[in-house]
Amino acid sequence: MNDLSLAIDLGGTKLLLGVVDRKGNILASRRYPSPLAEGKQQHEIASIMLDCIDDFSSKAPMDGVKHLGAGVVGRVDDESGLWLEIEPGRCETVELEKLLRQKTGLDCHIDNDVRCAMRAERVFGAGRGSNDFLYMNIGTGIAAAFVTGGKVLRGHSFNAGEVGHVAVDVFGDVPCPCGRRGCAEMIASGVGLDSRARALIHSYPASRLQIPDGARVDAKQIFDLAETGDELCRRLMYEAAEAAAALIMNLVWVTDPETVVLGGGIVSDGRMFQSILSRLNAGSMRFASGGVRLSTLDPGLTGLIGAAMCAFQMP
Ligand SMILES: [Zn+2]
């Protein structure tokens, strides 16, 4: 008998809905524009999600769908089913799980998007079988999910894992909107590479890096140009890899994981990943016997599969 989940992955670039089975197979999916980018309030975004469920349900085969899981950005109280915040300054408690249940009548669960991705890694990916692992997403921003002794770390305010604001360059001059200086996110993420490129480009008149208006600097272009010897891009990549490696080692000293899994668009093509690996110190990493691994899951689908695992309450 089918036992399927309707999965919802709400990210900064897309809203993805799909029907997923317990083995992580995606039987149907549909992509919608992300309502996050337009600066909407959370209740408006929740309302758009409900509309998308209507549209998706009218087009996709829903036979056997009994559960619903949603992974959303920001702080999530997964026990009470509350979506508390998108980011600092965009806080509005929305009873998202209740709204989804009222809409669909399904068994509904919600969680933070990075914790959902961690679930996918834990069930199907590089974190499989490990009770002590760290999943870190290096994409637009940087965030992590920690599994220690088989338990997921959530924190007093459900804000555990916002490791992009661990400072790795405390005597540097890189400001962060959080109020600190030298946060890893402002050096090593997509947002960080963009802002560092804009801050440094005038000191490198020979650089061929394109700085677009109204869009982020393309990280892949930075990596391509670094390989051709472009001094600005070599510096950006060097600093990003140093910052990410410092962050990983700092976290390894805190939680002593068996395995570290890296996912997200900045590391997915392997170049930044290799650069980070080469900067890890053997002494710091000596007990991480499972190593530092690059996610083997499709980065565009990890969140959706993870949302389904949240629906099934796996693991
Ligand atoms: Zn910060």
Sheet holding 26-33, edge to edge: 26-33, 14-20, 4-10, 65-72, 107-112
Q: How far is the CA of 184 from the centre of ligand 1 (A)?
A: 8
> 158 pLDDT exceeds 60?
yes
Which DSSP symbol is given to 84? E
Q: How far is the CA of 269 from the centre of ligand 1 (A)?
A: 26
Q: How far is the CA of 175 from the centre of ligand 1 (A)?
A: 8
Percent of the chain exceeding pLDDT 90 equals 91
Q: How far is the CA of 311 from the centre of ligand 1 (A)?
A: 32
Tokens for 199?
């801050």
> 227 pLDDT exceeds 70?
yes
> 87 pLDDT exceeds 90?
no
CA gap 155, 12 in Å, rounded: 24
Q: How far is the CA of 276 from the centre of ligand 1 (A)?
A: 20
Side-chain-side CA neighbours of residue 228 (13 Å): 10
Q: How far is the CA of 182 from the centre of ligand 1 (A)?
A: 7
Q: How far is the CA of 193 from the centre of ligand 1 (A)?
A: 14
Q: How far is the CA of 189 from the centre of ligand 1 (A)?
A: 12
Predicted confidence (pLDDT) per residue in 50-74, tens digit: 999 999 999 999 999 999 999 999 9
Phi, psi of 7 (to 5 degrees): -110, 140
CB-based contact 130:290 (threshold 8 Å): yes
CATH architecture of 4-122+300-311: 2-Layer Sandwich (3.30)
H helix or E strand, kind and range, residue 76: strand 75-77
Which pLDDT does position 253 carry in this prediction? Answer: 97
Q: How far is the CA of 89 from the centre of ligand 1 (A)?
A: 14
Q: How far is the CA of 279 from the centre of ligand 1 (A)?
A: 22
CB-based contact 219:211 (threshold 8 Å): no
Q: How far is the CA of 166 from the centre of ligand 1 (A)?
A: 7
CA gap 310, 315 in Å, rounded: 8
Sign of the C-alpha dihedral, residues 172, 176, 179, 182?
Answer: negative
Going by pLDDT thresholds of 50, 70 and 90, the confidence category of residue 12 is: confident
Going by pLDDT thresholds of 50, 70 and 90, the confidence category of residue 37 is: confident
Average pLDDT value for the chain: 95
Distance of CA 253 to the CA centre of its chain: 22
Give the residue-averaged pLDDT of 20-44: 93
Q: How far is the CA of 177 from the centre of ligand 1 (A)?
A: 6
Q: How many CB atoms lie within 10 A of CB 130?
A: 18
CATH architecture of 128-294: 2-Layer Sandwich (3.30)
pTM: 0.93
Q: How far is the CA of 277 from the centre of ligand 1 (A)?
A: 23
Q: How far is the CA of 51 from the centre of ligand 1 (A)?
A: 34
> 82 pLDDT exceeds 60?
yes
Percent of the chain exceeding pLDDT 70 equals 100
Q: How far is the CA of 162 from the centre of ligand 1 (A)?
A: 9
Q: How far is the CA of 181 from the centre of ligand 1 (A)?
A: 7
pLDDT: which is higher, 38 or 48: 48
CB-based contact 187:174 (threshold 8 Å): yes
Q: How far is the CA of 20 from the centre of ligand 1 (A)?
A: 35
Predicted confidence (pLDDT) per residue in 170-180, tens digit: 888 899 999 99
Indicate the burial class of 165 (C-beta count within 10 angstroms; 0-12, 13-18, 19 or more).
middle
> 99 pLDDT exceeds 90?
yes
Which pLDDT does position 315 carry in this prediction? Answer: 84
Q: How far is the CA of 291 from the centre of ligand 1 (A)?
A: 27
Q: How far is the CA of 125 from the centre of ligand 1 (A)?
A: 29
Q: How far is the CA of 264 from the centre of ligand 1 (A)?
A: 19
Give the residue-averaged pLDDT of 20-27: 96
Which pLDDT does position 1 carry in this prediction? Answer: 56
Predicted confidence (pLDDT) per residue in 108-119, tens digit: 999 999 999 999
CA gap 314, 21 in Å, rounded: 12
Predicted confidence (pLDDT) per residue in 122-156, tens digit: 999 999 989 999 999 999 999 999 999 999 999 99
Q: How far is the CA of 180 from the centre of ligand 1 (A)?
A: 5
Going by pLDDT thresholds of 50, 70 and 90, the confidence category of residue 187 is: very high
Q: How far is the CA of 26 from the centre of ligand 1 (A)?
A: 36
Question: What type of residue is 290?
Answer: G
Q: How far is the CA of 161 from the centre of ligand 1 (A)?
A: 13
Which pLDDT does position 32 carry in this prediction? Answer: 96
Give the residue-averaged pLDDT of 5-24: 95
| CATH 3.30.420.40 residue ranges for the chain | 4-122+300-311, 128-294
Q: How far is the CA of 148 from the centre of ligand 1 (A)?
A: 24
CA gap 310, 71 in Å, rounded: 8
